[in-house]
Amino acid sequence: MEKIKTDVLKQMFLDGARLIIEKEPYLTEIDSVIGDGDHGEGMKRGCEALIKILETENYVYVDELCRAVSIELIKTMGGASGIIFGTMFLGGISSLGHQEYATAPQIADYFWNGEQAIERRGKARPGQKTMLDALYPACVEMKKAVLETSNIIEVLKRGYQAAVQGVADCRNFQSGIGRSRNFKEKTLGIPDPGAVSVSLWFQAFCLSVDK
């Protein structure tokens, strides 16, 4: 598969939102240890709202869809997570173009530029036990993948695998930014909830596009 049409991308977002909702208890559990305990609830709230608009609205162009997804998450998720995940899906929107499909290189650029937008906005870097610890390696791997293949399924799978490894790696990091840094060494051994959420999005994207 070298292109994904808008309706396929829409289904990917729907499947991602449903997986996040399913995993809310786990996200809440780990965030209760190294954060405020509200990450799972916020993600669930945003994803429930997202499902509602995606099931009722029709989108012709991929950038139009991604903009709607981003705005809804920012509006309904609340807190820093809403801004961060909204930026993840909005920051690279110019990479997609105003068209009815996206190619593998466009998808890779989309997520890469979204990651860079988060770094600029949050002044965070990979290695500080944040969602970037999953998103950054996923983006790097997808950028590498498109040099070797134009198959979107393969590119997303490699991104997902890198995100999962990033989640595993960040267990060994001590939080260096945000409120979780107050927990210091208590954050060791626990994955960052935001990083886990990123890996869940990529997991759902892979399963959805490979149906």
The number of angstroms, rounded, from the C-alpha of 140 to the middle of its chain's C-alpha atoms is 14
- Amino acid 37: pLDDT: 86
Pair of tokens at residue 78: 């609340």
End-to-end, the C-alpha distance of the chain in Å comes to: 12
Closest CA to 139 of 124, 169, 161: 161
**110: CATH:** 1.25.40.340
Q: How many of the other CB atoms lie within 10 Å of CB of 13?
A: 24
169: CB partners within 8 A, 6+ apart: 133
Dist CA 201 CA 211 (whole Å): 16
Cα angle at 120 between 117 and 124, to 5 degrees? 110
Domain that includes residue 14, residue range: 3-209
Query: pTM of the prediction?
Result: 0.94
Pair of tokens at residue 43: 């993600």
Dist CA 70 CA 88 (whole Å): 8
Are the beta carbons of 199 and 163 closer than 8 angstroms?
yes
149 three-class SS: coil
Are the beta carbons of 131 and 198 closer than 8 angstroms?
yes
Residue 173 DSSP symbol = S
Residue 174 DSSP symbol = P
Residue pLDDT tens, the chain, 211 long: 899 999 999 999 999 999 999 999 999 999 998 888 899 999 999 999 999 999 999 999 999 999 999 999 999 998 888 999 999 999 999 999 999 999 999 999 999 999 999 999 888 899 989 999 999 999 999 999 999 999 999 999 999 999 999 999 999 987 766 666 666 676 788 999 999 999 999 999 999 998 7
pLDDT digits (tens, 9 = 90+) for 45-91: 999 999 999 999 999 999 999 999 999 999 999 888 899 999 999 99
Helices 39-56, 6-22: axis angle to 10 degrees equals 150
The number of angstroms, rounded, from the C-alpha of 94 to the middle of its chain's C-alpha atoms is 17
Alpha helices, H only, 23-103: 24-34, 39-56, 62-77, 79-90
* Number of structural domains the chain divides into: 1
- Amino acid 177: pLDDT: 65
pLDDT digits (tens, 9 = 90+) for 17-32: 999 999 999 999 999 9
